[in-house]
Each structure stands twice: as C-alpha cells, then as structure tokens.
Amino acid sequence: MNLDSPRPRISLATVAIAADLLELQKLCFQEEAEENHEFNIPPLTQTVEELREDFRTHTVLAAWQGQWLLGSVRGRREGPVCHISRLMVHPDHRGKGLGSLLMAAIEDAFRGVNSYELFTGERSLRNLRLYAGLGYVPVRREQVTQRLTLVHLQKRRAGKELVAGLSTPPFD
Ligand SMILES: CC(C)(COP(=O)(O)OP(=O)(O)OC[C@H]1O[C@@H](n2cnc3c(N)ncnc32)[C@H](O)[C@@H]1OP(=O)(O)O)[C@@H](O)C(=O)NCCC(=O)NCCS
C-alpha cells in the first residue's frame, strides 16, 4: 500500500468499525506503552463494549485508504473545551502527515469551541514534538502511577483570546 496515491480520506466513523478500530488502537498504543514503561493504560485495556460506548459520547473520525483503516481520532465537547483523544496512525504509515491531518480534521469538527485539550505521556517525546508543532502548549502534569506521568496540553482557537480581550471595556 502506498500513501501517495490515492490520498487517505478522513470521514466520520460509525460504531460498525468498533472491532477494527480496537485492533488498530491496540497495535498503535503498544509503542506509547513501551515508551512510558506502563502497559496498564486505557487504550490497551479498553474493551470493544467500552469502545462502542465512545461512539455515543464522542465524535470519532477515521482515515481510510480504500478499505484500509489507517488511523483515527476522537473528540468530545465539554462546554467551551474540546477534549481530543486516541489519535492513532498505523505504524506502517507514520511520519507522512496523516496524524497532523487527523488533528486538523477533529479541530475543524469542533470549530465552535474556545480551546482544545489533550494529554500524552511525559516520555512520549515524539508526540510532544508533534503537538508542539500544532500549537499545543503544556498546562499541567499529572502523575497517574509510579511509572506514568501525563502532560496535559492546550491550544486556544485562533482569535478567541482577541475576542475575549475586545469584550473588555478599553477603560477597564
Ligand atoms: C502520534 C501519531 C498519531 C502521529 O502520526 P503520524 O501520521 O506519524 O504524524 P505526522 O506524520 O503528522 O507527524 C509526524 C510527527 O509525529 C510525531 N511522531 C510521534 N510518534 C511517531 C512515530 N512513531 N513515527 C513517526 N512520527 C511520530 C513526530 O513528532 C513526527 O514529527 P518529526 O517528523 O518531527 O519527528 C502516531 O505516531 C501514533 O499513532 N502513535 C501511537 C499512538 C499515540 O501515541 N498517539 C498519541 C496519543 S496522545
């Protein structure tokens, strides 16, 4: 399979792909687990029933090349914030921009929010570099287990700070 042609297509996923998505998720997050020396992480322990439930609570996008599922990402709105999770690209198709495309697509699907939030393991240096390049900044750290510390990152939607600033009377 070649990513150059045809171009992968990103679309809204339905619960019908839950089993295939779980298989891809377990393959993709193995590396994240290895890097962080922690295998007891939700992407690896999630059951197909739990993943089906995610389709009720999240917007799930999938990247396809023909019939092949190459990647995915989830988003969920909570007030003015969109929480992004489970960004994944098949190991054979990484480093070609698909992860960034999925991020752009999920941000676009939640255009109405003020900010996007996500997290990754503090040892996932390539993930941190990817998110930094997309404009995400670290806002807090959370120690989850003895081995695993998460870095929470945030990106404000362009113009949101400006709008907030303009709504403040100039004489304040
Ligand atoms: C993170 C991930 C989705 C990136 O997908 P991708 O299609 O390779 O992303 P892009 O091609 O748009 O961007 C490449 C960047 O991603 C980052 N990256 C993270 N893991 C990578 C990997 N295994 N291979 C290549 N790039 C990776 C790097 O910063 C790279 O930039 P660089 O070229 O400066 O090193 C993919 O590596 C993946 O599925 N990882 C496992 C699951 C995971 O950790 N998801 C994130 C959870 S927070």
What is residue 146's predicted lDDT score, i.e. its pLDDT?
A: 87
65 contacts 9 by C-beta, under 8 angstroms: yes
> In this structure, which residue's CA is closest to atom 31 in ligand 1?
130
Please report which confidence band the pLDDT of residue 170 belongs to, taking 50, 70 and 90 as the band edges: very low
Nearest CA to ligand 1 atom 10: 97
- For the entire predicted model, the pTM comes to 0.89
Q: What is the pLDDT, as a whole number, of residue 161?
A: 55
Q: What pLDDT shows up at residue 172?
A: 25
Q: Domain 9-166 carries which CATH code? A: 3.40.630.30
pLDDT level of residue 134 (50, 70, 90 thresholds): very high
Q: Are strands 81-89 and 115-121 parallel, antiparallel or unpaired?
A: parallel
Region of 8 on the Ramachandran plot (φ > 0 left; ψ -120 to 50 alpha; else beta): beta
| Ligand 1 neighbours (beta carbon < 6 A) | 28-29, 31-32, 87-89, 94-100, 120, 124, 126-127, 129-130
- Average pLDDT along the chain: 90
Pick from 34-38, 44-48, 104-108, 147-151: least confident: 34-38
Residue from 123, 125, 127 nearest 86 by CA: 127
Distance from Cα 78 to the centre of ligand 1, integer Å: 26
pLDDT in tens, 61-86: 999 999 999 999 999 999 999 999 99
Nearest CA to ligand 1 atom 21: 126
Which residue's CA is minimally distant from atom 20 of ligand 1?
126
Pick the atom of ligand 1 nearest to 129's CA: 29
pLDDT band, residue 5 (cuts 50/70/90): low
By most ligand atoms within 8 Å of CB, the mutation choice from 126, 149, 150, 153 for ligand 1 is: 126
- 159 has pLDDT over 50: yes
Residue range 33-59: average pLDDT?
A: 94
Band (160; pLDDT cuts 50, 70, 90): low
| Confidence at residue 95, expressed as pLDDT on a 0 to 100 scale | 95
Both ends of the chain: CA-CA distance in Å?
A: 60
